[in-house]
């Protein structure tokens, strides 16, 4: 969403502020619908889009989903939505979930195209290379097959089966999944999300199932364990724990057996959204809709009460009610921190009051060192959030905001619509759940960099302090004692490399996004190379922070991808990395090295990279500029203050 007039947005929100809907939700929601249609007729796409968000946040039911989807389709030409194609292979009716899923996706900025396989035709679609599963070239595929369809014997006739038959059935089903996954991978690089198998509400053998003899629960669990192993062996294959989803919402209330028996829809109307939300927990990270940082309020969010009024002895935080709910919020935030998500504070308080609680309250699980940035002042939160984003070097569209105050949330939502504003319930005990449920915090793989990220930012603060005490740039570079290590592609680094191609926006010359599988395929092709860059300095290891993918052919050597994480930009390692590539090109017999700069909204920091390194403009079109350097005439040097090694340990 772009170019929203902030003032108009706030006024609109004043008119429709939360609570206005509380009584007679259908009545005010229908006013909102008329207003949206009115705005669409007048051509005010920005405000209409804002109100669609408002409507969806208030009521994400099937009927609202249909309305929202049809209006977003009218808005599509004026909007900046990311197109994404999804195929669902299924053994049951999924059609009613499609509007819910598309509505939620539009809300998240994604124009989701959903194609469903023919009913129970998942096997044919997977084995036939000409099937529309493959010809429609989806980015992701969901395989949603029920226990009763794939293992009817285990589901219904279990009490008639011997231990050997049970074992054979479990092996058969696991083998089918293995076969499907490997066949799918031969024909498609798409992400594959597989529902695991649900357990019966009441085992066929009653309580005997948990005693001696064959166990239905254990047999289904065995298949699920095998599925988890299968997914672990293949990049881009993920398990959706459907059994846990059903259990979480209540096995006895999940199903609607009448609709299963009549229209093959096994899930009750009230639960359709739960499945959709579970899908979103995969689709958010797959489409790059991720929060890299969460900015939290303090009063009534990290602790109960107001520190400025109640004092350190008066706020609620600990193992007893009501402090336990707030300690649970801190637990949930610690989990995010360990997942590599940065934490920051934005609170309207006197700095001394807040710091006293953060540093000294015995119930605090989070310490000041867990926070990568802090804004404790009386200023505007949207302004503070923008400053935090700049300080952490991330976009505001990579930030989540947690605040108990609905007015603050609404203000941020209006002024910074890209921020993931977490809907917090009125009940303090629900805040932790809202954090744990939010799809923008989901990750489908973690690299060791993710786990270390909090420390990297702490070291960065120390570096910044050093820079302020040293007068010349060169002295600063020297004092950093930077060592870089360049490694050719290997399987261990693949996750992190793919992650960087998908997450790096600023210092990224071409912004080509690649999956793990695509990089593996590409670099197995003759002439293609992939290098990663690790940077260490006196403050510690910055981790794997750079990627280059190149293509050599005869006398030419083209840079397909060149990117660096923002935490090492401006310290001349980019020059060192480029000099390595020039050297590599020369050794392969290339005469010149070339690379495109493809401008995006975010990669201005990389704009002058080639020109400042002696490249000249060779070609220019609507997409960008091709820069070229004759290797005979120019010698790119690694800066003297950077020591460079290949991973083998030899000096370059």
Give the C-alpha separation, 375 to 87, whole Å: 44
Asked if 95 touches other proteins (CB under 8 A), the answer is yes
Sequence-ordered list of residues with C-beta below 8 angstroms from that of 118, at least 6 positions apart, any chain:
124, 125
Asked if 20 touches other proteins (CB under 8 A), the answer is no
The interface region with other proteins, picked from 66-74, 147-155, 385-393, 422-430 by CB under 8 A, is 66-74
Cβ density class 87-108: b for 16+ within 10 Å, e for less: bbbbbbbbebbbbbbbbbbbbb
Asked if 365 touches other proteins (CB under 8 A), the answer is no
The interface region with other proteins, picked from 264-272, 407-415, 445-453, 567-575 by CB under 8 A, is 264-272
* C-alpha distance from residue 90 to each of 96, 125, 144, 239 (Å): 13, 11, 5, 15
Give the C-alpha separation, 242 to 386, whole Å: 38
* C-alpha distance from residue 400 to each of 284, 397, 413 (Å): 13, 8, 11
Minimum gap (Å) between residue 117 Cβ and other proteins? 15
Give the C-alpha separation, 446 to 499, whole Å: 9
| Furthest CA-CA distance within the chain | 83
Cα 97 → chain centroid: 22
Decide if 424 contacts 402 (C-beta within 8 A).
yes
Minimum gap (Å) between residue 592 Cβ and other proteins? 57
Q: Select from 2, 14, 20, 30 the one that contacts other proteins (CB under 8 A).
A: 30
Considering beta carbons, is residue 38 or 229 the nearer one to other proteins? Answer: 38
Asked if 76 touches other proteins (CB under 8 A), the answer is no
Cα 622 → chain centroid: 30
Considering beta carbons, is residue 93 or 234 the nearer one to other proteins? Answer: 93
Q: Select from 17, 18, 66, 200 the one that contacts other proteins (CB under 8 A).
A: 66
Minimum gap (Å) between residue 32 Cβ and other proteins? 11
SS3 544: strand
The interface region with other proteins, picked from 89-97, 215-223, 356-364, 468-476 by CB under 8 A, is 89-97
Peptide bond before 287: cis, by omega within 30 degrees of 0? Answer: no
Q: For other proteins, what does the binding mask look like between residues 203 and 222, x meaning CB under 8 A?
A: --------------------
Asked if 67 touches other proteins (CB under 8 A), the answer is yes
Minimum gap (Å) between residue 124 Cβ and other proteins? 22
Asked if 62 touches other proteins (CB under 8 A), the answer is yes
Asked if 270 touches other proteins (CB under 8 A), the answer is yes
Asked if 19 touches other proteins (CB under 8 A), the answer is no
Asked if 61 touches other proteins (CB under 8 A), the answer is yes
Q: Select from 8, 85, 96, 483 the one that contacts other proteins (CB under 8 A).
A: 96
Asked if 263 touches other proteins (CB under 8 A), the answer is yes
Q: Select from 63, 182, 210, 490 the one that contacts other proteins (CB under 8 A).
A: 63
Considering beta carbons, is residue 91 or 300 the nearer one to other proteins? Answer: 91
Considering beta carbons, is residue 47 or 61 the nearer one to other proteins? Answer: 61
Region for 467 from its dihedrals, namely left if φ exceeds 0, alpha if ψ lies in -120 to 50, beta otherwise: alpha
Nearest Cα residue to 582 out of 625, 632, 547, 532: 632
At 319, give phi and psi (nearest 5°): -95, -5
* C-alpha distance from residue 304 to each of 311, 429, 470 (Å): 11, 11, 44
Q: Select from 262, 369, 468, 648 the one that contacts other proteins (CB under 8 A).
A: 262
Asked if 23 touches other proteins (CB under 8 A), the answer is yes
Cα angle for residues 265, 268, 271 (degrees, 5° grid): 115
Cα 142 → chain centroid: 17
Subset of residues 36 to 55 that bind other proteins, contact rule: CB under 8 A: 37
Asked if 367 touches other proteins (CB under 8 A), the answer is no
Asked if 118 touches other proteins (CB under 8 A), the answer is no
Subset of residues 511 to 530 that bind other proteins, contact rule: CB under 8 A: none
How many residues of this chain interact with other proteins, rule: CB under 8 A?
28
Give the C-alpha separation, 30 to 107, whole Å: 19
Q: Select from 64, 398, 504, 532 the one that contacts other proteins (CB under 8 A).
A: 64
Considering beta carbons, is residue 71 or 571 the nearer one to other proteins? Answer: 71
The interface region with other proteins, picked from 188-196, 259-267, 477-485, 573-581 by CB under 8 A, is 259-267
Minimum gap (Å) between residue 269 Cβ and other proteins? 4
Q: Which strands make up the sheet holding 237-240, listed edge to edge?
A: 110-116, 82-90, 140-144, 191-195, 237-240
Asked if 24 touches other proteins (CB under 8 A), the answer is yes
Considering beta carbons, is residue 259 or 613 the nearer one to other proteins? Answer: 259
Nearest Cα residue to 204 out of 213, 216, 212, 214: 216
Give the C-alpha separation, 563 to 600, whole Å: 14
Q: Select from 113, 256, 483, 583 the one that contacts other proteins (CB under 8 A).
A: 256
Asked if 250 touches other proteins (CB under 8 A), the answer is no
- Reported as type and span, the H/E element at residue 372 is strand 371-376
Asked if 249 touches other proteins (CB under 8 A), the answer is no
Minimum gap (Å) between residue 421 Cβ and other proteins? 25
Burial of 525 (0-12, 13-18, 19+ CB in 10 A): exposed
Cβ of 220: how many Cβ atoms within 10 Å? 25
Asked if 466 touches other proteins (CB under 8 A), the answer is no
Asked if 265 touches other proteins (CB under 8 A), the answer is yes
Asked if 202 touches other proteins (CB under 8 A), the answer is no
Asked if 272 touches other proteins (CB under 8 A), the answer is yes
Give the C-alpha separation, 71 to 37, whole Å: 8
**N residues, the chain:** 652
Provide the binding-site residues for other proteins, judged by CB under 8 A: 23-24, 26-27, 30, 33, 37, 61-64, 66-67, 70, 93, 95-96, 99, 256, 258, 261-263, 265, 268-270, 272
């Amino acid at each position: 969403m772009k170019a929203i007039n902030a003032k108009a947005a706030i006024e609109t929100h004043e008119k429709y502020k939360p609570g206005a809907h509380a009584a007679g939700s259908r009545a005010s929601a229908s006013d909102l619908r008329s207003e949206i249609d009115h705005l669409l007729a007048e051509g005010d796409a920005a405000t209409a889009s804002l109100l669609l968000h408002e409507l969806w946040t208030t009521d994400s039911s099937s009927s609202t989903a249909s309305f929202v989807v049809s209006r977003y389709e009218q808005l599509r030409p004026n909007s900046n939505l990311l197109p994404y194609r999804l195929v669902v292979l299924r053994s049951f009716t999924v059609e009613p979930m499609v509007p819910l899923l598309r509505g939620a996706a539009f809300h998240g900025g994604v124009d989701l195209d959903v194609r469903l396989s023919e009913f129970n035709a998942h096997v044919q679609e997977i084995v036939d290379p000409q099937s529309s599963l493959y010809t429609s070239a989806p980015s992701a595929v969901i395989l949603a097959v029920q226990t009763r369809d794939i293992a009817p014997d285990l589901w219904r006739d279990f009490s008639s089966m011997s231990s050997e038959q049970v074992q054979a059935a479990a092996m058969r089903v696991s083998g089918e999944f293995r076969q499907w996954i490997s066949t799918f991978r031969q024909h498609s690089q798409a992400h594959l999300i597989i529902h695991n198998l649900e357990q019966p509400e009441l085992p066929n053998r009653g309580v005997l199932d948990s005693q001696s003899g064959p166990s239905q629960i254990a047999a289904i669990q065995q298949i699920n364990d095998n599925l988890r192993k299968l997914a672990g062996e293949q990049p881009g294959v993920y398990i959706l724990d459907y059994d846990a989803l059903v259990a979480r919402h209540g096995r006895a209330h999940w199903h609607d057996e009448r609709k299963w028996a009549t229209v093959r829809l096994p899930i009750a109307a009230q639960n359709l959204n739960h499945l959709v939300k579970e899908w979103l927990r995969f689709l958010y990270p797959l489409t790059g809709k991720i929060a890299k940082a969460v900015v939290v309020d303090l009063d009534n969010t990290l602790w109960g009460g107001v520190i400025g009024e109640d004092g350190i002895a008066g706020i609620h935080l600990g193992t007893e009610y009501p402090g336990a709910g707030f300690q649970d919020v801190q637990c949930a935030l610690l989990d995010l921190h360990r997942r590599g998500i940065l934490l920051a504070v934005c609170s309207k308080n006197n700095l001394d009051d807040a710091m006293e609680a953060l540093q000294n309250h015995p119930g605090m699980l989070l310490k000041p060192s867990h926070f990568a940035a802090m804004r404790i002042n009386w200023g505007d939160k949207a302004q503070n959030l923008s400053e935090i984003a700049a300080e952490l070097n991330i976009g505001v569209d990579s930030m989540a905001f947690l605040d108990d105050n609905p007015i603050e949330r609404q203000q941020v939502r209006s002024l910074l619509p890209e921020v993931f504003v977490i809907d917090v319930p009125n009940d303090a005990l629900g805040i932790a759940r809202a954090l744990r449920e939010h799809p923008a915090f989901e990750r489908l793989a973690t690299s060791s960099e993710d786990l270390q990220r909090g420390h990297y930012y702490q070291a960065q603060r120390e570096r910044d302090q050093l820079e302020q005490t040293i007068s010349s740039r060169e002295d600063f570079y020297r004092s950093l004692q930077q060592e870089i290590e360049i490694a050719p592609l290997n399987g261990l680094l693949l996750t992190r490399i793919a992650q960087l191609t998908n997450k790096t926006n600023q210092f990224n010359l071409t912004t080509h996004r690649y999956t793990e599988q695509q990089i593996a395929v590409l670099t197995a092709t003759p002439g293609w190379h992939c290098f990663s860059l690790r940077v260490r300095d006196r403050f510690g290891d910055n981790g794997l922070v750079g990627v280059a993918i190149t293509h050599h052919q005869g006398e030419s050597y083209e840079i397909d991808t060149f990117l660096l994480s923002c935490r090492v930009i401006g310290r001349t390692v980019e020059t060192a990395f480029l000099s390595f590539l020039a050297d590599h090109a020369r050794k392969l017999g290339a005469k010149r090295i070339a690379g495109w700069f493809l401008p995006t909204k975010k990669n201005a920091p990389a704009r002058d990279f080639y020109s400042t390194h002696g490249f000249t403009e060779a070609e220019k079109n609507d997409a960008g500029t091709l820069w070229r350097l004759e290797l005979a005439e120019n010698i790119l040097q690694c800066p003297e203050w950077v020591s460079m090694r290949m991973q083998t340990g030899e000096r370059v």
